[in-house]
């Protein structure tokens, strides 16, 4: 075989190897994107000692927010009903998933869920 022919074969092999490794790197990037997208933000409700309700917002097994009382409302009163705590926790999770940080809630949003607490 001539030197030119051997060089072309070697160049072709190197080109194939390089393309193959680029595809794998692309797959790794895609996998890491998927991992970030599937990281779940969850909520859990709990009952306070006085019988009212609160919620926790969790991500990757860690508590991001511990909310034993109603946010955006003066005082330290918990939610009267578990469903109220659940609905507000779901709102906070939606805000986090939308990239809103911190996921603060307004008194109007709270009142829309629990009604007028006064």
Q: Quick one: 57 and 108 in the same domain?
A: yes
The answer to whether residue 21 scores a pLDDT higher than 70 is: no
Q: Quick one: 25 and 52 in the same domain?
A: no
Pairs from 17-22 (Cβ < 8 Å, separation ≥ 24): none
Q: Cα 115 to the chain's mean position, in Å?
A: 28
C-beta separation of 72 from 79 below 8 A: no
Residues 6+ apart with CB under 8 A from 59: 39, 40, 41, 42, 96
Flag the least confident range among 10-19, 45-54, 76-85: 10-19
C-beta separation of 75 from 59 below 8 A: no
Give tens-digit pLDDT for 91-110: 999 999 999 999 999 999 99
The residue that leads in pLDDT, 97 or 29, is: 97
Q: Quick one: 65 and 103 in the same domain?
A: yes
Instruction: For the full predicted model, state whether its pTM sits above 0.75.
Output: no
What domain range includes position 105? 41-114
State residue 29's pLDDT score. Answer: 45
Q: Quick one: 45 and 98 in the same domain?
A: yes
Flag the least confident range among 20-29, 43-52, 60-69: 20-29
Q: Quick one: 95 and 49 in the same domain?
A: yes
C-beta separation of 57 from 65 below 8 A: yes
User: What domain count does the chain have?
Assistant: 2
């Amino acid at each position: 075989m001539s030197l030119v022919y051997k060089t072309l074969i070697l160049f072709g092999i190197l080109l194939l190897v390089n393309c193959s490794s680029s595809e794998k790197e692309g797959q790794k990037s895609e996998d890491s994107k998927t991992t970030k997208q599937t990281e779940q933000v969850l909520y859990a409700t709990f009952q306070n000692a006085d019988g009212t309700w609160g919620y926790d917002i969790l991500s990757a097994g860690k508590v991001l927010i511990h909310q034993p009382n109603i946010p955006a409302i003066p005082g330290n009163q918990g939610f009267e009903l578990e469903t109220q705590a659940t609905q507000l926790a779901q709102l906070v999770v939606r805000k986090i998933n939308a990239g809103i940080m911190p996921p603060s809630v307004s008194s109007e949003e709270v009142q829309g869920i629990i009604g007028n607490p006064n």
